[in-house]
Amino acid sequence: MGLFSLSGGVTFEPSTDIPQLDGKVILVTDANTGLGKQTVLELARHRPAKIFLTARTLDKANHAISEIHQAVSNVALESLELDLRSLQSVQKAAKVFTSSSERLDILFLNAGIMAHPEGITNDGYEIQFGTNHRVAYGSMLSKSNGEALGTVARYGQSKLAKILFAQELARRYRELTVSSVHPGIVLTNLSNVMVETSFWKKIAMKLIAPLQGVTVEEGVKNQLWASTAPNVISGEYYEPVGVAGKGNKYTRDPKLAEELLDWTEKELNELKL
């Protein structure tokens, strides 16, 4: 799907390169704004059986559904309340979903916070790690609040966990296709939470983002490609669009990936989840 571009990636247009999704059930987290909402909109145009949209409140999810139905009316969309900062909310959402659907074909773990002030989730995990380590799987900081790390460093650590987590899931569950993706610098409100960042860094972000950033419509292409293209390598990390092989020694550390998933499962077992 898609031709190779001069930049080394692929040329991917959702309207023509996403295959028909007849019978597919899809779940997209944080789907009321930004990349999540755009993901639902693009997939809705290709006849899926149903798409579940999650948001922190049902009102937010239902509002997004109303807006998407204005563009694509003949698609089944269902709202699901999910706050990734709370494992109790994750567990509740999982129960609601499994009682509503017998299958799940495509899962987008799409949500994130960036350079957030020091803090912890409802379950005691550093807040960026607890939110960005998908499905609120916690941090490797032994439930510390991350005081030893700056805001951007904590954000980077949480994104490293995402990459390692996908690698280890792919290794252990070979029947699944799992990938982690980077959308590029997208002009969304993600960086608006950088309240702890210095004044000059905020100014730099405001100046640089419009020059280097891409629209949501462009930024969503990498994750849409990774979820629908036939040649996706399970466990791989992709930069836009479909560019594999990036990263560093930490993102390609199988021992660290194994330890992360073992730790995650241990934490969930201790919480009886």
- Helix and strand numbers (H, E) in the chain are 10, 8
What gap in Å lies between CA 179 and CA 233, rounded to an integer?
7
Which residues have CB under 8 Å from 189's CB, separation 6+? Answer: 33, 34
Tokens of 165: 């987590």
Other C-beta atoms closer than 10 Å to the C-beta of 229 total 20
Buried b (16+ CB within 10 A) or exposed e, 58-69: eebbbebbeebe
Q: Which of 155, 173, 237, 238 is catalytic?
A: 155
**Strands 25-28 and 10-11, how do they pair?**
unpaired
DSSP summary character for residue 81: E
Side chain identity at residue 83, one-letter code: D
Q: Is 137 a catalytic residue?
A: no
| Alpha-carbon distance values, 10 to 36, 109, 150, 225, 232 (Å) | 21, 23, 35, 9, 12
What gap in Å lies between CA 146 and CA 136, rounded to an integer?
16
Task: Please answer whether residues 140 and 129 qualify as being in contact, where contact means their C-beta atoms are separated by less than 8 angstroms.
Answer: yes
| Alpha-carbon distance values, 264 to 136, 137, 176 (Å) | 10, 6, 19
Other C-beta atoms closer than 10 Å to the C-beta of 253 total 16
Give catalytic residue positions: 155
